[in-house]
Amino acid sequence: MPRDKHPVSRNDISKNALKVLYRLHNSGFDAYLVGGCVRDILLGIQPKDFDVTTNATPEQVKSLFRNCRLIGRRFRLAHVVFGKEIIEVATFRGHHADDADSKSSKKNQHAHSDEHGQLVRDNVYGTIEEDAERRDFTANALYYNIADFAIYDFANGVEDINKGVLRLIGDAETRYREDPVRMLRAVRFATKLNMQLDTAVRDPIPELASLLANIPPARLFDEFLKMFMSGKATANFSMMMELGLFQQLFPMLKGHLSDAQSPAYQMLLKAFKDTDKRIAEDKRVTPAYLVAVLLWWPLLARKEQLENEGGLPPMDAINIAAADVVHRQSQRVSIPKRFSLPAREIWQLQRRLQVTKGGRAMKALEHKRFRAAYDFMLLRSHAEPEDKKLAELAQFWTEAQNNPTKLKTGKSGAPTRKPRRRRRGPRKKKPQSNSDNGSA
């Protein structure tokens, strides 16, 4: 597609991405914008990041940029760092030989799959045509050439974009086994771009969803952020539940989400709707709050078990249960401490907010996590409308924020009595002993 046949302009591309493209081009290498950034510009969406592909090896890219670092074992990539913006540069991928033929592969170019068919190492370089065949979806096999400003479409991606259909390149089951995260990407692209999943894309997912257990937890946490912190959490949750993907990310929730009318399901749905609304209004959101919501019901189940079997006090049971559920969840989707610790404070405050008068109540109101804990309590009352005490407690803290003096009276409105001081009588003098009065 020559320049006059498409809307992509250099004005749509970040200055740092243009620097990378032109330096590669001026150094004698091919240089293309690739994938989502080209797709988004065609759809009228401002890309969040820009990816570059080239025939230069990662080491050659590093030699051109002092601000470059090489990352990745499975895919060797070059990251060119411009402050907060990172331009990812990948070498054209080639077709890999089977493990049995790996001895005949070129030096430093080899691929390796595990027993599930998942690629664990794939540093095989090739041509731009081979690279396009290695892309996951047709809409992502689009290349913008800085040399002639043309778009190269190798898989009819533009046609699929115009039809609103998301298609995979190649056999779906093979592509999912190579990288199970593609199942999550299929959902995310469908909701983000308002596209329908092709039948061949959708049908294998329920059967292959369990392959996500083979993905490193840290990588799945990155996918969790993309799925639920980008303004499409509600749509992603619904589609993931339908395809059996959500249960793979949060296995402890399986028993709590079997019924769409259950308090746990309604609580999650409301939390995702609220998150989408805040993002649409450009308000701050934090993964810690969603972590607290997602693990609340497993936390309650574990807390109750500890109280019944171990006879632990409620707050001790909460703390131990919190450590247990965070640890178990981190085996599937890792939760960094910068998010798990605030989530634990939100849980602890649910107990502390039951005290509605006196110094302890005032300290709870002044706690740095009070607002998040209060929002969490409102969410709980929404999911459990039959719990009248919880509704009254939420109403109390709603009013207490506007009138902190209410904390002096508590829920009943009666003034808090000061504890009486016990009067102490005059001290009795000890009788003097004979030795004290000088008698023998």
Between CA 145 and CA 154, with CA 148 as vertex, the angle to 5 degrees is 45
Tell me which DSSP letter residue 125 carries: B
Question: pLDDT (tens digit, 9 = 90+) per residue, 96-126?
Answer: 655 434 433 444 445 445 555 554 445 688 9
Residue 286: what pLDDT?
94
Segments in 198-313 forming alpha helices (H): 199-202, 205-208, 217-228, 233-243, 246-249, 263-280, 287-294, 296-310
Domain boundaries, the chain: 1-163, 353-408
Could you tell me if 74 and 59 are in contact, meaning their C-beta atoms sit under 8 angstroms apart?
no
Rounded to an integer, what distance in angstroms lies between the CA atom of residue 128 and that of residue 29? 12
- The per-residue b/e assignment along 300-330, b for 16 or more CB within 10 angstroms, e otherwise, is bebbeebbeeeebeeeebbbebbebbbeebe
Question: pLDDT (tens digit, 9 = 90+) per residue, 339-383?
Answer: 999 999 999 999 999 988 888 889 999 999 999 999 999 999 999
Evaluate whether the domain defined by 1-163 bears CATH number 3.30.460.10.
yes
Q: Per-residue pLDDT tens, the chain, 440 aa: give them.
A: 999 999 999 999 999 999 999 999 999 999 999 989 999 999 999 998 999 999 999 999 999 999 999 988 767 899 999 999 999 999 999 876 554 344 334 444 454 455 555 544 456 889 999 999 989 999 999 999 999 999 999 999 999 999 999 999 999 999 999 999 999 999 999 999 999 999 999 999 999 999 999 999 999 999 999 999 999 999 999 999 999 999 999 999 999 998 999 999 999 999 999 999 999 999 999 999 999 999 999 999 999 999 998 788 999 999 999 999 999 999 999 999 999 999 999 999 999 999 888 888 899 999 999 999 999 999 999 999 889 999 999 999 999 888 887 776 655 443 444 555 555 656 666 555 554 444 43
The residue among 36, 220, 226 whose CA lies nearest residue 139 is 36
Tell me which DSSP letter residue 93 carries: B
Rounded to an integer, what distance in angstroms lies between the CA atom of residue 238 and that of residue 25? 44
**Kind plus residue range of the DSSP H or E element containing 82:** strand 77-82
Catalytic site positions = 49, 51, 136
- Please provide the average confidence, as pLDDT, over all residues in the chain: 88
Question: pLDDT (tens digit, 9 = 90+) per residue, 121-166?
Answer: 456 889 999 999 989 999 999 999 999 999 999 999 999 999 999 9
